[in-house]
Structure 1
């Protein structure tokens, strides 16, 4: 697959890095010589210096033969213009990164696809949506919904008192005969090793375990993991960034009590005008006294989304010390992900990773309709639509030639989520959720082609 990426910033570089592992033919375009030099020396890709909206540069990048053009520069206008030009010059598919979420909300009305822009992606909107999901499933530190919640992926760190510590997966399943969940990935505490569980895999204390479950299964998981479901109502947000604004706005719509702290006075006044249902406080969120004055201890959740990763992490640690139940920090540095559970913050979010995951599903072979990459884990979750020609069509799960590094988490049939076991027959039209290590992806994709 020939892919052109415009923008060698954090999203563009991260995307190029992930795609280069898949041996895709990638060209990275940017005006910044240093960014390109770094990408050229670290990745197996072609780099091209120039303006992504220059027709001569696009022709040099062989845009007429490209399968996909992705605009992820810092300029929304550049990304939209690039996609428009690329489509006219013969590119098959285009994706534009935007910061104005209004474009996404009104995409049916504007008909961007007719203009040559097939997909719009807003990292800020994705982060705000992810935060709301995490607050809705308060005891879990990672969530993802398939088909509007027909199946839900949740991640949880197993406490010592969890009923099935020391038991195998098949034993845990016997505790609840009406099985509504499936473990799909495990990371042992203190390791970077990702395990795809089987029936004889043992659950251990402080394992980070990811489950696929139905709506009914969420309550079972609360019991099984020893976690308590606590309603989150009072939320403090640190930082009036685009993510902070979108999160506060969405939470207010859903009747949460929101306090937002913003350091910049002018910005704080603007936010107060735009968010009449939130309490906007002008002050420095790094000031512990200010947080205490604003009743941090009474908060159910603390969300730090300033532009500084270290500020976000440290303020979340302060919130944890005040017994705030749920802490979420936005971080730019990918390396910080390895630290989240060991330092005690519930969830670290990264806009680059969210955007890359979203873009990734347009690059996969087969009918991949959703994809998410698990925080801290070297594993991916893919959702495939079964076609009449797919090798899995008409077969029972136990009869599939499925790699050891992969597992089927569940199946969505006619809008209803099913936790599918060995005797379940997969048929045309099913949406199958698969968790696998990167090494198994090519084999899995062939099964669904």
Structure 2
């Protein structure tokens, strides 16, 4: 598979790194030699200096022999122009574009029809969805949904006071008897573990649980007790994300205050928001936070365009007494550092964009794909008739080490499988695979057992 990426910024960088690690042929185009140099120092990909909206540059990149075309620069105009020429030069290529302008998004159907643009990705909207879902799921640090929301993958921190700390997975059933679930992964420090029954949950672990939607609230009470709902929040940052988030939270009947330091922007926000209390001030000013009595709030959400501002505002809020902070981080390198200093809830527009792109580069009938800690991927796929995964007990499947079946959706029925369960043709299957095992899982989805 050959993939051309226009834009070597954070989204392009992470897409290129992920795809190159799977031995896919990747060509990255950018006008900035510095970002191309950074990419080449870190990833084994081809780079081409030039404009991705130039047909000549696209020809040099080998557009006619490519399978997928990703336009992910910070410029909507560049991305649309690049996709236009990609369509003219290689009509059959799968095209995906990063678009943030709401006016352009209104014409998504026309773009899909005229340019055969497969997917338009809006990272800001993805972050708003993520934060809204987290607020609706108290106790979860991370949340992904599959099978139209019927299956959830929940990330939960295990605190030192948690009764489940130091419990072997094989013994969890004795403590949690009323809910069916699977412990999909354990994040311990910088390590990702695909666990067995002999593994033990430890204090400080971030664990991922797969369960049916109706059981999520009950399961979180066991793994994250005493986590109240989120009804009163402060948003720091009134840009596009903060504005769209306030609108979404108003619809959820959440009491919202929104703080921004730009007077003109505050006037705009006050005019266009119905119930949100708009405040003008600096989110890193401790006096302002204390004035607004943030310690009485359920959460502070920092979504300015500056990572440093978001981190500092979140830390200040926690020092004042806020229990939970959600912090917007763009650079993935910052995420483990930020979690190490106590900021558990992290959202990233750029990583959300990468997740939106991943399903389109997967072989097999993959519906959705979510990266976990940049080391693993949860995938939802339709089991094809000829797939090597069909027709035999899960315990006998030709799965590589580092891959696990989390759930099966058969019609309207959700199955939390055991080793004896069998995948049938047309089942929706949710799988977790480490980066090293993804290629083998893709192959198992698309070929017969004899062809493996």
User: What is the TM-score of this pair, normalised by structure 1?
Assistant: 0.94
Distance 2:105 2:431 in 1: 28
Distance 1:102 1:382 in 2: 32
Q: Within 5 A, what are the aligned runs for 1:435-446?
A: 435-446=432-443
Instruction: Show CA shifts across 1:395-425 (max 9, x none).
Output: 2212212223121111122244321111211
Q: Within 5 A, what are the aligned runs for 1:330-345?
A: 330-345=328-343
Distance 1:401 1:116 in 2: 37
Distance 1:380 1:102 in 2: 33
Distance 1:373 1:422 in 2: 25
Structure 2 contact 330–351 (Cα < 8 Å) conserved: no
Q: Within 5 A, what are the aligned runs for 1:407-418?
A: 407-418=404-415
Structure 1 contact 262–268 (Cα < 8 Å) conserved: yes
Q: Within 5 A, what are the aligned runs for 1:43-58?
A: 43-58=43-58
- 1:77 matches 2:74: no
Secondary structure, aligned partner of 1:369: strand
Instruction: Pick from 376, 379, 385 the counterpart of residue 388 of structure 1.
Output: 385
Unaligned runs of 5+ in 2: 447-452
Cα 1:321–1:151 change in 2 (3 A) is same
Secondary structure, aligned partner of 1:395: coil
Secondary structure, aligned partner of 1:250: helix
1:10 aligned residue: 10
Deviation (angstroms), 1:320: 1.8
Cα 1:344–1:385 change in 2 (3 A) is same
Structure 2 contact 3–27 (Cα < 8 Å) conserved: yes
Structure 2 contact 365–383 (Cα < 8 Å) conserved: yes
Distance 1:327 1:300 in 2: 9
Distance 2:332 2:273 in 1: 31
2:263 aligned residue: 265
Structure 2 contact 134–140 (Cα < 8 Å) conserved: yes
Distance 2:158 2:52 in 1: 47
Secondary structure, aligned partner of 1:448: helix
Unaligned runs of 5+ in 1: none
Q: How well do the aligned residues superpose, as a CA RMSD in angstroms?
A: 1.8
Q: Within 5 A, what are the aligned runs for 1:169-248?
A: 169-188=169-188, 191-248=189-246
Q: Within 5 A, what are the aligned runs for 1:140-179?
A: 140-179=140-179
Secondary structure, aligned partner of 1:312: helix
Distance 1:149 1:196 in 2: 23
Deviation (angstroms), 1:102: 5.4
Q: Within 5 A, what are the aligned runs for 1:317-396?
A: 317-375=315-373, 378-396=375-393
- How many correspondences in the alignment? 445
Distance 1:146 1:171 in 2: 27
User: What is the TM-score of this pair, normalised by structure 2?
Assistant: 0.94
Distance 1:221 1:102 in 2: 41
1:98 aligned residue: 99
